[in-house]
Structure 1
Amino acid sequence: MTPPSESQPAPVEVAGETLWLLPECALWWPAARMLLVADAHFGKAAAFRALGQPVPSGTTADNLARLSALLARYPAEHLVFLGDFLHARAARTPATLAALRQWRAGLPDGLACTLVRGNHDVHAGDPPPELGIAVADEPLRAGPFALCHLPRRDLAGAAYVLAGHLHPAYVLRGRGEADALRLPCFVFGPHGAVLPAFGAFTGRFTVRPAPGERIYVAGGGRVWAVPARG
């Protein structure tokens, strides 16, 4: 199967499987027809507005539209959220929940949805039952992978971990000190990988690759590998 022409994902071979790293900060596993996203943080702007912060509205609708576009583009049978579905209990506003119900109603029939609980889910609570999203604690096994929210070193050798939580970003530097670009990234190591945050209204944590890790940055509609430093 070849990637759609309007997107330029990066294929990576890991644990005997081919995974596509998508510019939209998601991961597509073609053999399992599985789409994975981490750290959606739906309702985060609503939670901030509840604290009196003047943040923009409409971010949840925008994130859901991006996710629907991916599901229309890739023939997924299973959508997996790697933790932090809702940002906080204050995110459960009528507007946010209505947007989620409308989004779920528009998904293809038969699409399975699963949330692997993350740290924010503990406080925000599980998704409303009417969304039809199964909930599991980490690690959730799928083939050679352990689907988690937190990066896990304790599973090394037993499964290759796919996780989120860190919201990783990488700084590309030009010639001058001020010539820099900070982009979301995927981090792939010998025993596990970390996905960038899918939610657009989230912070990012700048990472530097450890020995044996590879960085793939996402931006401008494509994903590409950062050359390893000697």
Structure 2
Amino acid sequence: MWLDSRGALWHPGSRWLAEADLHYGYQLTMRRAGGLFPQWGMGDIRTRLQALIRHYQPEKLILAGDIMDSSGSAEETLTLLAALQPQVPHLICLEGNHERPALLKRWTFHRWHREDGDYLFHHGHNPQEVLDCPKATADAALQITGHWHPAVTLNDGAGTSMKLPALIQQKSPKRRSQSSNTPLDHWILPAFSPWARGGRLPAPGEKVRQEIWACHQRRVFAVG
């Protein structure tokens, strides 16, 4: 698999492209609450999505939850999904904690998705519900989620710093669920929304090996 610096995960063999946490319409939510937010963000999301689709020409586009930001952006999110659907053979939308009935009743969403037998996609806001489902986890080796908006802050020690979205790779020796003793590795996708890049890194559990990959414009690099 390849991590694209634009915030997407690409599998060249199976030709699927995955992103999480678009939070489409975030600035609309903030402006309705009285915030002085510019009308920027949705255009950036559309531009990067279109560029990624043109570049990779995926068979499947997997949007791993929190596609919309709130019920106030339902119409805009529906318009986005309707525009994406003809561009890929399969558009797979997963339900996150920000999806609202205004969108869920008018578009098909799934709680989880399996790909290539090994990969289990879900948003990550209610992991135990998914991990305790034998149909979801059977023979899976890796769960890929969003939700956390992982980011890292780099500084030069003299007052200059920058925060970058990141992919987290966690390898755990612990059992995946109450019904299985097989470890299930966990990758956490960077947030695709330019407004959502800055969450705290989830604390790794005991004996979990963790690697962090930061995304900066056209470059991806490992962070110690």
Q: Note if 1:184 corresponds to 2:165.
A: yes
1:213 counterpart residue number = 210
2:18 counterpart residue number = 36
Shift of 1:70: 0.5
Shift of 1:92: 2.5
Q: CA deviation digits over 1:133-192, x for unaligned, max 9?
A: x42112x1112010010074745974310000000001223344x343321100001111
Secondary structure of the corresponding residue to residue 42 of structure 2: helix
Is the CA contact 1:88–1:124 (under 8 Å) kept in the aligned structure 2? no
Q: TM-score, normalised by structure 2?
A: 0.78
Is the CA contact 2:41–2:194 (under 8 Å) kept in the aligned structure 1? yes
1:9 counterpart residue number = none
Q: Note if 1:100 corresponds to 2:80.
A: yes
* Aligned with 2:122 (options 122, 139, 148): 148
Alpha-carbon distance in 2 for matches of 1:98, 1:195: 23
User: Larger deviation: 218-227 or 77-86?
Assistant: 218-227
RMSD between superposed Cα atoms in Å: 2.6
* Aligned with 1:111 (options 89, 95, 116): 89
Shift of 1:58: 3.7
Alpha-carbon distance in 2 for matches of 1:135, 1:27: 20
Q: Note if 1:27 corresponds to 2:9.
A: yes
Structure 2 unmatched ranges of 5 or more:
132-136, 172-184
Alpha-carbon distance in 1 for matches of 2:138, 2:170: 11
Alpha-carbon distance in 2 for matches of 1:23, 1:201: 16
Shift of 1:71: 0.2
1:15 counterpart residue number = none
Is the CA contact 2:22–2:67 (under 8 Å) kept in the aligned structure 1? yes
* Aligned with 1:171 (options 145, 153, 157): 153
Change in 2 beyond 3 A, CA 1:52/1:187: same
Is the CA contact 1:188–1:215 (under 8 Å) kept in the aligned structure 2? yes
Alpha-carbon distance in 1 for matches of 2:93, 2:78: 19
Alpha-carbon distance in 2 for matches of 1:124, 1:185: 30
The percent identity for this pair of structures is 26
Is the CA contact 1:209–1:215 (under 8 Å) kept in the aligned structure 2? no
User: Larger deviation: 56-65 or 210-219?
Assistant: 56-65
- Work out the number of aligned pairs and report it: 199
* Aligned with 2:191 (options 188, 197, 201): 197
Secondary structure of the corresponding residue to residue 99 of structure 2: helix
1:120 counterpart residue number = 98
1:47 counterpart residue number = 29
Q: CA deviation digits over 1:39-71, x for unaligned, max 9?
A: 001111112222222211142122111100100
Secondary structure of the corresponding residue to residue 216 of structure 1: strand
Letter of the 1:180 counterpart? S
